[in-house]
Structure 1
């Protein structure tokens, strides 16, 4: 799972990052509308935590940008504003949820999970693909009756491929999704290839009726077999 935190208050950013680390969520940060706009153009995010009050523009402008780009990002507006007008405007512009500050991080976690389930899988908690059963809340993957012991990265790669099962995902796009901005500092994809190799091995050992196919010169696609 990968989220974008659009917030300019340092204390809140610190709290969000601590939360994302505890929840094992990959997180990028943008402190201005301009920075957020650049990141959503370059990278894919499962969910965006969006503050309305940004130093260079309203966060609602980013919602309008996402609509024009026809992006399927989940968006939770996180704001100190509690007026009905602001909530209605945000939801009408495509936000999935509206959370008023202050709030408990446990509530934020539940809302993020709910948004991602609705947006990506249209499922309450259990995702089925081929012979795989994936409990999204517990991050548990079962092939038939065998529990697959996946690392966080392997799990994230598997879920991202399933969410895009009708598309071929390039190695660049997959690496950017899993590792975020840090991918810009590397000139090798060996780390990605190793995670994919380990994931494929575990799927074979669990006799999962799915296959991660290498599309030569393009990328990867998951399919049922």
Structure 2
């Protein structure tokens, strides 16, 4: 999934980013209020981690901005402040969860997984699409009774496609999902073609129907024909 980490403590931000990336996520960071505003205005995310105290502004105003633009991202406030009024205000504004520093990265990861599952897949522990079954907690994919071996990028692509089934996804949005804001620096989106081709081949070889369709000049669509 694609995650934005809004945190001004560089060591903590880097630790969160590295940990979540090893868990198969694409992570962007923002160290100031102004940088966070730019990121949420340009990119879309599955989950956004928001520190309350930021250089140049208050993280709660970021939550307000996200709700004003009707963002579908899950929001988790991470802050050293343990005051009840900060927690209640953040939740009242529309944040989904609140985690007080210091915290274990494994707990943060578990909360992110649970949050995104609630928002995108109605809390299901199993994601089902036709003969495809995904167990997001273990990051395992099954086709009927056959376990499928996917790379991190292929797994993220499959989740992204199923979460947006029947919608045409642009190459730009797919690139952002896989590599975050580094997508702006890419000379081409040829790598997307390779990932999609490999994912499609693995699904078909394992016995799944061909659900991936190329939409000429735009991107791809995942649906039952």
TM-score (normalised: structure 2): 0.96
1:72 aligns with 2:61: no
Q: Which residue of 2 aligns with 1:13?
A: 13
CA distance in structure 2 between the aligned counterparts of 1:222 and 1:173, rounded to whole angstroms: 14
SS at match of 2:222: strand
Q: Which residue of 2 aligns with 1:140?
A: 140
CA distance in structure 1 between the aligned counterparts of 2:224 and 2:131, rounded to whole angstroms: 8
- Is the Cα contact below 8 Å between 1:6 and 1:29 reproduced in 2? yes
Query: What is the count of residue pairs matched by the alignment?
Result: 225
Q: Which residue of 1 aligns with 2:167?
A: 167
CA distance in structure 2 between the aligned counterparts of 1:71 and 1:167, rounded to whole angstroms: 18
- Structure-to-structure mapping, 1:1-225, within 5 angstroms: 1-209=1-209, 211-225=211-225
- Is the Cα contact below 8 Å between 2:175 and 2:183 reproduced in 1? yes
RMSD: 1.3
CA distance in structure 2 between the aligned counterparts of 1:78 and 1:108, rounded to whole angstroms: 9
Deviation at 1:206, TM superposition (A): 1.4
TM superposition outliers: structure 1 runs of 4+ over 6 Å: none
- Is the Cα contact below 8 Å between 2:24 and 2:156 reproduced in 1? no
- Is the Cα contact below 8 Å between 1:114 and 1:124 reproduced in 2? no
CA distance in structure 1 between the aligned counterparts of 2:196 and 2:213, rounded to whole angstroms: 10
CA distance in structure 1 between the aligned counterparts of 2:47 and 2:78, rounded to whole angstroms: 12
CA distance in structure 1 between the aligned counterparts of 2:210 and 2:135, rounded to whole angstroms: 17
SS at match of 2:3: strand
TM-score (normalised: structure 1): 0.96
CA distance in structure 2 between the aligned counterparts of 1:2 and 1:56, rounded to whole angstroms: 25
Deviation at 1:5, TM superposition (A): 0.5
